[in-house]
């Protein structure tokens, strides 16, 4: 794990022991139900949820990885990808092991699908993580790499501590979150990139071990509650890449807001999905065109180099207001969040917090 320098004294802010898990319901007979995600796992003493990091001990559900950080890195915000939040800014990204889905194509499977007890990681407190963000001049922190929902306790503590320092909170999430937990997020989360893996429930069940409806509910709920939302669809040949399904995804997002950025990214063979090749660039170009036809103003191809694909265009006059090359920011022409040519406001979070 890469640990960034901190001004905190050694030993400060460390968490001892396991945290009591949020969103649990005693059922009697020694059983507890986890209400953090739509799986709603019912567990007896010693039982571990499908995420593998929440376990019943002494009749109470515990968060095993609440202070076990396995990744702590500086990333450009474009890598999340979040293209309409502080362009070019460094973001402190953190994660524990664990995920509540089991996607065959996971590109971080070594940590998201980790199985073991106790989970690995270095003990870091929320205050220490936020201090490192401040020291490294990061305007935002991001819970990412694995699934933030399963380390909800740490992510929430980081979120509240960051808010107190004028630092924004971001999530990169699969969106498989319970209604209760999703409502709580709106009180301290500023922005999220949500994976929309398919518009078919059967695809979620077969390839991801989840369901579609809760993900759509999360996207709608976060947007409705004022959290800035961007959406990523990993376009996988033969799984979710039909024009009909891509159009359904674009139509759903546009029905919420034409300003929701949609990232259509290229698949490469990984983990347990090695039976097909990478996504052709032409398929991503097709997805971009479909998104725009359905009314989305900002559609970005990812994981491949397509000339101008990462640029943000003014939806009114068509001028390039933000130019990117890969994850690198080349130019930001926005003035007060607006196109300098025609004055059209561009949706996003453009102003950094003071301090």
Establish how many alpha carbons lie within 13 A of residue 152's alpha carbon, considering only the half-sphere containing its beta carbon: 26
As a whole number of angstroms, the distance between CA 298 and CA 347 comes to: 10
pLDDT at 4: 41
- Architecture of 68-332 per CATH? Alpha-Beta Barrel (3.20)
Report CA dihedral (275, 231, 78, 321) to the nearest 10 degrees: 130
Angle at 215 between CA 211 and CA 216, to 5 degrees: 115
The runs of H, that is alpha helices, within the chain are 109-112, 126-135, 152-164, 179-185, 201-203, 212-224, 243-256, 281-293
Residues 6+ apart with CB under 8 A from 257: 223, 347
Task: Cite the residue boundaries of each domain of the chain with CATH code 3.20.20.70.
Answer: 68-332
According to DSSP, the β-strands at 19-20 and 71-76 are unpaired
Phi, psi at residue 7, to the nearest 5°? -90, -5
CB of 267 within 8 A of CB of 232? no
- Kindly give the pairing relationship between strand 312-313 and strand 54-57: unpaired
Question: Which 3 state secondary structure label does DSSP give 157?
Answer: helix
pLDDT at 261: 98
| Alpha helix ranges (H) inside 115-225 | 126-135, 152-164, 179-185, 201-203, 212-224
User: In 203-228, which positions are buried (b, 16+ CB within 10 angstroms) versus exposed (e)?
Assistant: bbeebbbbbbebbbbbbbbbbeeebb
Distance CA 217, CA 104 (A): 23
**Single pTM value for the model:** 0.94
C-alpha 309/C-alpha 304 separation (Å) is 9
**d(Cα 44, Cα 30) in Å, to the nearest integer?**
6
Residuewise pLDDT in 10s, the chain (355 residues): 343 433 333 233 333 457 999 999 999 898 999 999 999 999 999 999 999 999 999 999 999 998 899 999 999 999 999 999 999 999 999 999 999 999 999 999 999 999 888 899 999 999 999 999 999 999 999 999 999 999 999 999 999 999 999 999 999 999 999 999 999 998 999 999 999 999 999 999 999 999 999 999 999 999 999 999 999 999 999 999 999 999 999 999 999 999 999 999 999 999 999 999 999 999 999 999 999 999 999 999 999 999 999 999 999 999 999 999 999 999 999 999 999 999 999 999 997 644 4
């Amino acid at each position: 794990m890469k640990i960034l320098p901190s001004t905190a004294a050694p030993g400060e802010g460390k968490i001892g022991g396991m945290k009591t898990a949020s969103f649990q319901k005693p059922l009697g007979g020694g059983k507890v139900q986890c209400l953090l995600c739509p799986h709603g796992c019912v567990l007896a003493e010693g039982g571990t949820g499908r995420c593998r990091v929440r376990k019943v001990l002494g009749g109470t559900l515990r968060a095993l990885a609440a202070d076990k950080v396995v990744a702590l890195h500086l990333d450009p915000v474009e890598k999340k990808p979040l293209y309409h939040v502080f362009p070019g800014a460094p973001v402190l990204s953190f994660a524990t092991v664990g995920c509540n889905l089991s996607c065959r194509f996971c590109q971080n499977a070594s940590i998201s699908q980790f199985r073991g007890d106790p989970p690995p990681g270095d003990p870091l407190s929320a205050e220490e993580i936020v201090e490192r963000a401040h020291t490294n001049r990061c305007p935002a922190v991001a819970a990412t790499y694995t699934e933030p929902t399963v380390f909800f306790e740490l992510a929430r503590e980081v979120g509240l501590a960051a808010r107190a320092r004028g630092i924004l909170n971001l999530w990169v999430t699969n969106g498989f979150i319970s209604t209760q937990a999703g409502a709580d997020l709106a009180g301290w989360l500023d922005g999220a990139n949500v994976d929309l893996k398919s518009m078919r429930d059967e695809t979620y069940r077969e390839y991801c071990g989840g369901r579609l409806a809760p993900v759509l509910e999360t996207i709608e709920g976060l947007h409705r509650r004022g959290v800035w939302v961007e959406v990523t669809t990993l376009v996988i040949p033969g799984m979710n890449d039909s024009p009909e399904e891509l159009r359904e995804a674009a139509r759903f997002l546009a029905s919420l807001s034409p300003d929701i950025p949609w990232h259509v990214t290229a698949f490469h063979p990984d983990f347990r999905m090695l039976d097909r090749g990478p996504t052709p660039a032409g398929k991503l170009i097709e997805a971009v065109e479909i998104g725009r036809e359905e009314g989305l103003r900002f559609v970005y191809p990812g994981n491949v180099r397509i000339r101008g694909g990462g640029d943000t265009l003014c939806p009114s006059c068509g001028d390039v207001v933000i130019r990117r090359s890969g994850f690198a920011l080349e130019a930001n022409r926005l003035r007060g969040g607006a196109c300098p040519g025609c004055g059209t406001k561009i949706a996003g979070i453009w102003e950094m917090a003071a301090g």
